[in-house]
Structure 1
C-alpha cells in the first residue's frame, strides 16, 4: 500500500521538477513487411506556455508542433489497454515531457478505440510487442527529430494489455493457454458462451517467443494482463528494472489483483511493487472531465483520481529518472 505521506512527498517532488511545457505533435509510421501503419502522439519539452488543445474531443494541455531543441533526451514509449488510444494516458506523458523526456504513445493498429477490427483473438496480443519495436525503430530512424533522442535511455509505460506488452518486450513469454475464452468476432466486447471462440482454456497452444527489445532499460506497468504470466518460467528472462502497479479493487479482464501479486512474486528481479488503495482498474486512465458518463471514468466511492494521478506521475517520473538518467550518469 502507498502511505499518504509518501504520496505527498512524491507530489512535491514532481512539482519541483517541472520546468517546461509539453510540446505535442502527431506522427504516422508507415506500414511495412513487419506490420500495419501506426499512428502516434509525441510529447517533448517546450519553452512556450501550454494551451488547452482539443484532439478528437479530448482536451490536453500542450503546445502543438513546438520545435524540439533539446538533445539526447530519454525516450518513453506508452502502450494503451484494450480499446484505448494514444491520449488515454496524456497526463502522464505531459508530466514526463515537462521533466525533460521525449514521449511517444501509439494507437495499436486495428485494436484501438477508433478501430477495433482486429482487437480480439490472439493476433493483437502477438502483434503488440512488435508494434513497440517498430515504433522505437521509427523514433530512432525516420522521425525528423531522431537526433534529439538518446538511444541508450529508452523506457516503457503500459496499462492493462499495454502492461502485458511491456512485460513481453522486457523478456517475458506468455502462456496463452491461461487466457479465458476470446471471441472470434473482432468487434465483440464480451463473448457470450453461444458465440464462436478462437481459443478456450484447456486447449493446448504451442509455446511461443514473442518480440523482445533489449533497448528498453526501464519499464513501468499498471494493472497488466497478467493471467498469462503465472509461472516462473514465463518471466524468467525479465531482468530490466520494473515498477509494477496494481489496483486494490481490480476489474480488468485477466488483470486480477491476485494474479498481479503472483506475478510480482515470480519475477526474478524484485520489482518496485505498489498497490493503490481503493483504486479500480480504470483508475490508471487519465482523469476524466466533470460529469463524464463514460464507464472508464467511474472510480470507487471516495477515490480521488486527479489527486492520485499527481502522485502516480511523480513516482513514475522518479523511477524513470533513477534508471534512465541518474544511474547512467553515475556509470
Structure 2
C-alpha cells in the first residue's frame, strides 16, 4: 500500500514523539596508522521535542542537532551498515535506542559506502570493517568530547548485512580467508576472486572483547564462517532474518538461518515473514523511493513502518536485558 508523503512523515514523527527526541552530534574518527578517517554520528538521549532534520539527498532524520546529552554512564551501541550503505541507513533504530537512554554511534565504513565503493565486496574490507568498529569504540571512549557520558563496561553492536559479517568478526568470529575455500571457489564475490588469485588479507581480523551483546541482521557473506569459525562467539546475540521466499532478487545477502545453526550458543532468533533483506532499513522517504525502488519497495502487504516499531522495541528490550537499564528520565 502506498502512503501519501505527508502521511508517511506523520507516522514517522509519531513513532519518535511518544517520549522525547534523539540528539545528534556529528564527529570524525581521525585518520591514523590503523586506517583513514571515519565519519560518524552520535545519537543520544535529549530532553527536547523532535523535529525533521534534512539529512540531504531527500532524506530526513527526526531529532535535535547538538542537544545537551541527558544522563551519565550510558550504554554505548555501535551500528555497522550494509554493503554500500551509509551511517543513516538505520536512523530510526538509532533514534529509538537513543530515546530509550543509549548513546548510539553510526559510522560510514571507508571504501564501502554509497559514495565510495572502491572496497565493496573486497578482501580488504573483510579485515578493515572489524577494525573500523574497534577504532570507533576507541574514539568514543577516548577522543570524543562526551566520552565521560559512556559506561565503558556496557557496549553493544548492531550489524546489518555486511555489517552483520562485521559484527560477527568483531565479537570473535574468525572468517576463513584462505585460497581454496570450497564455498568461495564457486562464488562471484570479489573477495573470493581475490583469494583465488593469490591475494591475502592485509592483516588479522580485529576482535573487540569490550562488546558485550550484539544484534545481527541478515549477515552477509556467511561463506567465510563455518561453525568452527564461530566457536569463540559467546556473547548474547539477537539474530534477525528476512524471509527466504522474498529474496530472489540477487541484490543482497539472505538470510540468517545458516548462522543460527552454526553459533555455539543459540541466539534469540527472529525470522520475519514476508520481510525482504532491505525491509530492515529505515522507511524510505518519497525522494528515496524514487531513486532506490528496489531497496524501498517491500513485499505486498508488508508494512515497514509497523514492523520497525516492533523491531526497534525488540532491540531496546534486548540491549536493556543484556547491558542493563539505560538512562531514567
**TM, length-normalised to structure 2:** 0.84
Shift of residue 157, structure 1, vs aligned partner: 0.2
Distance, in Å, in 2 between the alignment partners of 1:17 and 1:66 is 16
Summarize the Cα distance change of 1:181–1:230 in structure 2 as closer, same or farther, 3 Å threshold. Answer: same
Alignment match, 1:59: 60
The reply to whether residue 273 of structure 1 matches residue 280 of structure 2 is no
Summarize the Cα distance change of 1:267–1:148 in structure 2 as closer, same or farther, 3 Å threshold. Answer: same
Structure 1 residue runs without a partner (length 5+): 1-14, 185-190, 192-196
Partner residue of 2:247 out of 250, 262, 277 = 250
Distance, in Å, in 2 between the alignment partners of 1:253 and 1:173 is 26
Distance, in Å, in 1 between the alignment partners of 2:17 and 2:150 is 20
Q: Is the 8 A contact 1:75 1:153 kept in 2?
A: yes
Shift of residue 205, structure 1, vs aligned partner: 6.8
**RMSD, aligned CA:** 2.6
Shift of residue 253, structure 1, vs aligned partner: 6.2
Distance, in Å, in 1 between the alignment partners of 2:269 and 2:277 is 16
Summarize the Cα distance change of 1:124–1:226 in structure 2 as closer, same or farther, 3 Å threshold. Answer: closer
Shift of residue 263, structure 1, vs aligned partner: 1.6
85-94 or 169-178, larger mean C-alpha shift: 169-178
Shift of residue 199, structure 1, vs aligned partner: 3.9
Alignment match, 1:325: 324
Summarize the Cα distance change of 1:254–1:204 in structure 2 as closer, same or farther, 3 Å threshold. Answer: farther
Structure 2 residue runs without a partner (length 5+): 1-14
Q: Is the 8 A contact 2:127 2:204 kept in 1?
A: no
Alignment match, 1:7: none
The aligned runs of 1:187-202 (5 Å cut-off) are 197-200=193-196
Shift of residue 17, structure 1, vs aligned partner: 11
Q: Is the 8 A contact 1:225 1:253 kept in 2?
A: no
What SS does structure 2 have at the residue aligned with 1:157? Answer: strand
Alignment match, 1:29: 29
Alignment match, 2:284: 288
Alignment match, 2:122: 121
Distance, in Å, in 2 between the alignment partners of 1:118 and 1:255 is 17
Paired positions, count: 299
Shift of residue 272, structure 1, vs aligned partner: 0.5
Alignment match, 2:304: 305
Distance, in Å, in 1 between the alignment partners of 2:273 and 2:286 is 22
Alignment match, 2:140: 139
Q: Is the 8 A contact 1:18 1:95 kept in 2?
A: no
The aligned runs of 1:17-166 (5 Å cut-off) are 19-57=19-57, 58-166=59-167
Shift of residue 38, structure 1, vs aligned partner: 0.1
